[in-house]
Amino acid sequence: MDQSTVLQMLAVSVVGIAVAAVARRRGWPAPLLLVFAGLVLSPLFPEYELDPELVLLVFLPPLLYAAAIDSSYLRLKDLRRPVALLSIGLVLFTTLVVGGVAHLLLPELPLAAAFALGAIVAPPDAVAAVAVARRLGLPRKVVTILVGESLFNDATALTAYRVAIAAALGQGLTWLDVTVDFVLAAVGGVVMGLALAWMLTWVLLRLREALIENTVMLLAPFAVYLAAESVHVSGVVVVVIVGLYIGHRMPRAGFGTRLLSDAIWRVLGFFLETIVFALIGLQLWPIVRELEWSDRWRLTGMALAVFAAVVISRAVWVVPSLYLPRMLSKKVRSRETHAPSWQYATIVSWAGMRGVVSLAAAFAIPEDFEGRDLLLFLTFAVVIGTLLLQGLTFPALIRRLRVSNEQETYADNLSEAAAQQAAASASLARLEELVADGVDDVHREVVDQLRSRTERRALTAWERLGGGTGPEGEETPSTVYRRLRREMLAVEREVFVRLRDERRVDDEVLRRVLHEIDFEEATLERD
């Protein structure tokens, strides 16, 4: 990477952060504003082409990992059927539909190349959709489905893309070869991801040093991705599995690790997403410059046709996939007591915005590949079209359908209050045991403060519904307070984790409570 490239990336970063700052202050969707800014500024960066290696090796692993550690393994497990139907079934369906449409419109384009285009534009990037969904208070089930889809669909699309490109280059793959490659990449990714996740978690839980633990976690997505790709299994699947596993086990880590990790991944995620969406817009000029515009109406018609195929194929797939399994399987009906509403189906159908992974895959097509410039243009048209059309109308759609998470919020507050009561009871019982072991009368006021503080936290949850040592080694009141309070917080934390594992509170409730406990524990630390 030469100095001019570094300066360009620095300029993109500065402009992107400035645009994102304005968007956040105004309450506008930052991803869409960044794309628009990139489109406007594209003529100023006429020589900058998106480096696919930069996206797939530098941007994709940490973004997937950050999304995975912030996701709920238990909720994804409960919703594994719709997530699998979207991240695997819909991606393959879109690949076939878009490939068929492209081949009909351009018969001279080899069928394998047409399917490569389908695989490139098949995976939605749910970053923008999820950001809007959370801000507008979409129900947790919808958000989980969108997040789960975005975590796993890249693996399916990239595998299908590699197979299609290999076939187009005349490498003579059979359907058996394709199926075996796909299964090995997916299953191998799951197995390798679980093994690496267990080893990393075992190491992290024994380091007992927040800075070192978070340094290891910063390196983890890059290391596991490269390790997976080196043995020809899906690096995307491995990164997601590792992130989900570590995120599920994070409550067992130290409070300092969690506080620092939360800050690090929020900043890193914001920075990478800012650059990624700005880079999408910046590709306008390099792509358009390479096209022969003598037949511009034909190119425009093809772009509109492919865009329509992408949008319609999602709607055609989503509605049956949500309802047919319930109609055909008694087991599914017994496990999922409530059928998804038509509002949920509409929202999931419209949340199909494409992103930088599609562009990176298109730019990774070999330079001598027949029709490469056309495939790049069509990919760019789909990415920009879905981001601007669906992205701009998505908030209005949510408001129009009047879908909210008010009932879930009330249920969360109710379960939190009950859990706080259980944790407070356990914490006070532990305090009584420690007091019985011997606390001088001088420190009775410390015990009373601890007891009062614990009771106050439990009462606050219900309301939401509507150091050193003294002379000769003697502990001072502040030291006793910190020691006893740490013991009580440890018990409270164990209760919340146990109730999460028993499905009595949700992961979001656990994170919120642990955040409060961690901050309190941090205040007990002495420099």
Q: Are residues 213 and 67 in the same domain?
A: yes
Return the structure tokens found at 129: 């959709």
| 482 is a domain residue | yes
Q: Are residues 250 and 114 in the same domain?
A: yes
| Average pLDDT of the residues in 150-159 | 90
Q: Is the pLDDT of residue 467 over 50?
A: no
Question: What is the per-residue pLDDT for 190?
Answer: 92
Domain boundary among 362, 385, 404: 404
Compute the distance between CA of residue 469 and CA of residue 476 in angstroms, rounded to an integer: 5
Domain boundary among 383, 404, 425: 404
| 216 is a domain residue | yes
Q: Are residues 381 and 452 in the same domain?
A: no
Question: What is the per-residue pLDDT for 525?
Answer: 65
Q: Are residues 364 and 477 in the same domain?
A: no
Residues in CB range of 274: below 8 A, 6 or more apart: 13, 16, 17, 19, 20, 30, 34
CA geometry: angle 437, 521, 477, nearest 5 deg: 45
CATH number at residue 160: 1.20.1530.20
| 278 is a domain residue | no
Q: Is the pLDDT of residue 439 over 70?
A: no
| Average pLDDT of the residues in 143-157 | 90
Question: What is the per-residue pLDDT for 213?
Answer: 92
Question: What is the per-residue pLDDT for 62?
Answer: 93
Question: What is the per-residue pLDDT for 527?
Answer: 35
Compute the distance between CA of residue 386 and CA of residue 97 in angstroms, rounded to an integer: 17
Compute the distance between CA of residue 70 and CA of residue 243 in angstroms, rounded to an integer: 8
Q: Are residues 339 and 428 in the same domain?
A: no
| Model pLDDT for residues 11-26, shown as the tens digit of each residue | 888 999 999 999 888 8
| Model pLDDT for residues 352-388, shown as the tens digit of each residue | 899 889 999 999 998 888 888 899 999 999 999 999 8
Buried-exposed string 70-98: b where 16+ CB fall within 10 A, e elsewhere: bbbbbbbebbebbbbbbbbebbbbbbbbb
| 4 is a domain residue | no
Of 57-61, 334-338, 359-363, minimum mean pLDDT range: 334-338
Structure confidence at residue 475 as a pLDDT band (50, 70, 90): low
| 439 is a domain residue | yes
* Count of domains forming the chain: 2
Question: What is the per-residue pLDDT for 101?
Answer: 95
- Radius of gyration of the chain from its Cα atoms, rounded to whole angstroms: 26
Question: What is the per-residue pLDDT for 412?
Answer: 76
Closest Cα partner for 505 from 495, 515, 520, 519? 495
Structure confidence at residue 469 as a pLDDT band (50, 70, 90): very low
| 230 is a domain residue | yes
Residue with tokens 């197995």: 191
Q: Are residues 116 and 145 in the same domain?
A: yes
Structure confidence at residue 132 as a pLDDT band (50, 70, 90): low
| Average pLDDT of the residues in 461-481 | 57
Of 143-147, 244-248, 365-369, 471-475, minimum mean pLDDT range: 471-475
| Average pLDDT of the residues in 249-276 | 88
Percentage with pLDDT > 70 across the chain:
89
Return the structure tokens found at 107: 């018969």
Q: Which one of 8-22, 332-346, 475-489 scores highest in mean pLDDT? A: 8-22
Of 22-36, 457-471, 492-506, 507-521, minimum mean pLDDT range: 457-471
| Model pLDDT for residues 99-126, shown as the tens digit of each residue | 999 999 988 888 889 999 999 999 998 6
Phi then psi dihedrals of residue 231, to 5 deg: -110, 15
Q: Is the pLDDT of residue 472 over 60?
A: no
* pTM for the full predicted model: 0.83
| Model pLDDT for residues 222-234, shown as the tens digit of each residue | 999 999 999 989 9
Compute the distance between CA of residue 352 and CA of residue 386 in angstroms, rounded to an integer: 7
Tell me the average pLDDT of the chain: 84
| 7 is a domain residue | no
80 or 255, which is more confident?
A: 80
Q: Is the pLDDT of residue 476 over 60?
A: no
Q: Are residues 196 and 307 in the same domain?
A: yes
| 10 is a domain residue | no
Q: Are residues 74 and 192 in the same domain?
A: yes
Q: Are residues 375 and 442 in the same domain?
A: no
Percentage with pLDDT > 90 across the chain:
31
Q: Are residues 375 and 416 in the same domain?
A: no
Question: What is the per-residue pLDDT for 165?
Answer: 87
Return the structure tokens found at 439: 């606390």
Question: What is the per-residue pLDDT for 383?
Answer: 93
Structure confidence at residue 245 as a pLDDT band (50, 70, 90): very high
Q: Is the pLDDT of residue 466 over 70?
A: no
Q: Are residues 381 and 419 in the same domain?
A: no
Residues in CB range of 140: below 8 A, 6 or more apart: 75, 405, 408, 506, 508
Compute the distance between CA of residue 504 and CA of residue 415 in angstroms, rounded to an integer: 7
- Which residues span the domain enclosing 176? 50-270+302-404
Domain boundary among 404, 431, 452: 404
Q: Are residues 340 and 422 in the same domain?
A: no
SS3 475: strand
Closest Cα partner for 48 from 1, 14, 88? 1
308 or 331, which is more confident?
A: 308
Decide: 421 and 463 in contact? Cβ < 8 Å. Answer: no
Q: For 337-389, what is the HEC assignment?
A: CCCCCHHHHHHHHHCCCCCHHHHHHHHCCCCCCCCHHHHHHHHHHHHHHHHHH
| Model pLDDT for residues 158-210, shown as the tens digit of each residue | 988 988 888 888 766 666 777 787 888 888 999 999 999 999 999 998 888 88
